[in-house]
Amino acid sequence: MNHYAVFGYPIQHSLSPRIHEQFGRELGIPLTYERRAVPAGSLAQAVQAFIAEGGRGANVTVPLKTEAYALATELTLRARRAQAVNTLSFEDGVIRGDNTDGEGLLADLAYHAVALSGARLLVMGAGGAAQGIIGPLLDAGVAHVTVWNRTASRAAEWIARVGDARMSLPVAGDSYDIVLNATAASLGHAVPPVPDDVFRGALAYDLAYGPVARPFLAHARTHGAQSVLDGLGMLIEQAATAFCVWHGVRPDTSGVRVLLRGEAA
Ligand code: ATR
């Protein structure tokens, strides 16, 4: 039996075990998948302990994605680009870091028939979550990405680092097709203090999922969002890509979508 885990803090509400176990059942691949509460600063010990127990791979979530990036001894191209890691594989002393978040977001937007080509985006946040999705969004042919961050200087530094002419800081009065909340605000039950008019006519999407995403999505609706989505679909799709990294086959996600929609609501 192969052992997997998700590391993060807090972690008790993570749906990743349900998702991976269900994929395994559907594809006839036996596996165990557990949650491990790992506070910031202690990922290295947690990984070493898990490897010693025979662990084959792990997902990594808030607040550990940058730590996982630093810990990996090999990085895939998409992890290097994201400068953040959400999927670790352990084999022959190698800790390989990958990032499936961007692909997960794109797959979920495609599932909901949201067009990215030519779209004007507002990305809120400039941390690991935002960095994890920007490369695939730019590759998908978006027209423009405005970056809003609570600490504006961090957004400016990130834009300069990425070096794509389609990214810029907010300009008052701009309108957007998609507003993505990639901040950690929802986890603290807060709504980022963006101007109310950014939501008008847009799809509002919170990378967080379940009850914690509700205040942001309700706020977006109140201020004119045309539609809203939480990050459950992204979670399921990034898990499907991580599953493929570990087991070589990408599961169909429709069964898990139906199974979990009720639970996360
Ligand atoms: P992550 O890897 O989850 O992105 P991070 O690198 O710590 O974590 O980044 C957290 C992001 O959420 C940052 O963009 C942060 O804004 P700052 O750069 O100003 O710290 C943002 N954030 C966290 N709490 C927030 C809140 N209550 N309102 C708005 N933004 C918040």
Which mutation among 183, 189, 238 tests ligand 1's pocket best, with the greatest number of atoms within 8 A of CB? 183
- Residue 177 one-letter amino acid: D
Strand, helix or coil for residue 168: strand
In the chain, CATH 3.40.50.10860 covers: 2-99+233-264
Q: Quick one: pLDDT at residue 261?
A: 84
Sheet holding 94-98, edge to edge: 31-37, 2-8, 55-60, 87-91, 94-98, 74-75
Fold of the CATH domain 2-99+233-264: Rossmann fold (3.40.50)
Residue 238 is among the residues annotated as catalytic for this protein: no
| Ligand 1 atom nearest to CA at 155 | 18
Q: What is the DSSP letter of 56?
A: E
With b for 16 or more beta-carbon neighbours within 10 A and e for fewer, the 214-226 pattern comes to bebbebbeebebe
Q: Quick one: pLDDT at residue 264?
A: 55
Q: Quick one: pLDDT at residue 1?
A: 85
In the chain, CATH 3.40.50.720 covers: 102-230
Q: Quick one: pLDDT at residue 128?
A: 85
Fold of the CATH domain 102-230: Rossmann fold (3.40.50)
Q: Quick one: pLDDT at residue 265?
A: 52
Q: What is the DSSP letter of 188?
A: G
Nearest residue to 57 via CA among 72, 79, 39: 72
**Ligand 1 mean position, distance from CA 209 (Å):** 16
Strand, helix or coil for residue 177: coil
**CA distance readout (Å), 90 to 77, 96, 146:** 17, 7, 37
User: What pLDDT tens digit does each residue of the chain (265 aa) get?
Assistant: 899 999 999 999 899 999 999 999 999 999 999 999 999 999 999 999 999 999 999 999 989 999 999 999 999 999 999 999 999 999 999 999 999 999 999 999 999 999 999 999 999 999 888 999 999 999 999 999 999 999 999 999 999 999 999 999 999 999 999 999 999 999 888 999 999 999 999 999 999 999 999 999 999 999 999 999 999 999 999 999 999 999 999 999 999 999 998 775 5
Radius of gyration of the chain (CA): 18
**Ligand 1 mean position, distance from CA 265 (Å):** 24
Set 65, 78, 219, 247: catalytic member = 65
Token match 């690991």: residue? 128
Question: Which residues line the pocket of ligand 1, CB cutoff 6 A?
Answer: 62, 65, 125-130, 149-151, 154, 183-185, 188, 190, 192
